[in-house]
Amino acid sequence: MNDKSDQISPFLVFFLIVKIQVGVGVLGFQRIIIQSAGHDAWMAVIISGVVFSLGIWGMYNLLNRHDMDLIGIQKRLFGKWLGGLLNIIWILYWLMVGISVLRSYLEIVQSWVFPQINTWLVTSIFALLIYYVVLGGFRVVAGFCFLGISIPSYLILTFYFPLEFTHFRNLLPIWDHSLKDMALASKQMSYSYLGVSTLMMYYPLVKHRKSSQKWAQLGNLTSVFLYLCLTILTIGYYSEGQISRYIWATLSFWGIVQMPFVERFEYIGIATWVLVLVPSVSLYMWVSARGISQYFKMKQKTIYALLLILLVVMTNLIKGRGMINQFVDYISNLGLILEIPYVLFLVCLSTVMSNKKEDKK
C-alpha cells in the first residue's frame, strides 16, 4: 500500500486540498450564504476557512503522532469492531460525497446545456474516465488534480467582465446581521470546504509528510481567498433581492462575458468544469477503494469497478432538484460532524491515551 513509486512530493498536497475544496459548489454557493447573512456573508467565508484551518491542524496532529492513515488510527484507538464500524462510515461518506459531486454537475448540464440528456450514458462515460485515472495509482490521481487546478485557472480572468458593474458600497454597513445569522451562514459556507479529510488517507504516500502541513494550510487559504473574492463580487454586482433568483451565481457571471468569437461563454465554462469534476470524484473513489482494500483481499481493479458501478446507479436514482438538494444536505451535515468535531475528538482522545501510556512507563 505504501509503495515508494506511488509517493508524491509535499507541494502537491496544495493542489489536492484546493482541488477537493473548489468543485461544483463554487458555481452557486453565494445564494445560500447571502440569504442568511446578506452583505456580511463575506465574513462567513473567512470564519469557515479559519475553522477548517484548525481542522487541518488537528488532522496533522493526529497523523504525525500515529504515522498511518485514518483506517489504521481508528483500529488502534477503538479496536477491531468499533474501529471497523467507524471506518465503514467514513468509506461510505467519501463514496456518497463523490456521488453528490457528480450528480450536482449533471444537474447543471441538464439545466443550462442539454435538458434531455441521457444521464445513464453520461455517468457511464464519466465512470470510464474515472476508472482510467484511478487505475494509474495515486500519483496519477494527484497529477490529474494538478491539471484540474492549473488548466481551468484561466476562468478567473472572466470575472473581469462583471467587475466594471460592481458597486463595493453594497458591502456597507459592516456587521449588520446577528451572531445567529453569521453562525448559520458560516455553517452553510462550510459545505464548500468539505473534503479535506481525504488528506488522512493519502498522508502515508506523501514524502516528508510532516513538513507538508504548510502546503495543506496554504491550499486551504487559497480556497478561502477564491471564495471570498467571488462572494464580494457577487454582493457588489447583485442586490440581495436579485441573488435569491440566481441558483448558480458564478454561472450567471459567465452569461455576461462578451467576446467577438464567443456568444455563450457559460457553455465553455461548464465544459471546462469537467476538468474540475473528474479529478475530484477520482480522489474520492481512490480514497474509498483504499479503505475497502484494507478489509477485503480483492484486486484494486475489482474494487474500483464495483465502486464505479455503484456510482453510476446511485447517481441516476437521485432525480429532481428537491431530491438532489436533500441528498447533498444529508451528506454535508454528516461531513461537518466528521471532518471537524470528530477529528478534534480523535486528537484529544489520542493525546490522553498517549499520556497514559507514558505515565505507565
pLDDT in tens, 33-56: 998 988 899 999 999 999 999 999
The residues near 152 (Cβ < 8 Å, ≥ 6 apart) are 272, 273, 275, 276
Weakest mean pLDDT among 58-62, 243-247, 354-358: 354-358
Average model confidence (pLDDT) for the chain? Answer: 90
- Which grid cell is 186? 458560516
> pLDDT-based confidence at 131, cuts 50/70/90?
very high
Question: What's the confidence (pLDDT) of residue 4?
Answer: 66
Dihedral angle, C-alpha 169, 173, 174, 180, nearest 10 °: -130
CATH top-level class for 24-352? mainly alpha
Amino acid letter, residue 184: L
Contacts (Cβ under 8 Å, ≥6 apart) of 305: 131
Split at pLDDT 50, 70, 90, the class of 177 is confident
Confidence class for position 164, pLDDT limits 50, 70, 90: confident
pLDDT band at 334 (very low <50, low <70, confident <90, very high): very high
Cβ-Cβ contacts under 8 Å for 157 (sequence gap 6 or more) = none
Query: Is the pLDDT score of 127 beyond 50?
Result: yes
Q: In this prediction, what percent of the chain has a pLDDT beyond 70?
A: 98
* C-alpha distance across the termini of the chain, in Å: 32
Mean pLDDT of all residues in 307-336 = 91
pLDDT value, residue 112: 87
Residue 280 pLDDT level (bands cut at 50, 70, 90) = very high
| b (16+ CB within 10 A) / e for 167-195 | eeebbeeeeebeeebbebbbbbbbbbbbb
What pLDDT sits at residue 1? 46
Q: Is the model's pLDDT at 309 over the cut of 50? A: yes
Chain position carrying cell 462515460: 125
- Domain ranges, ordered by start, for the chain: 24-352
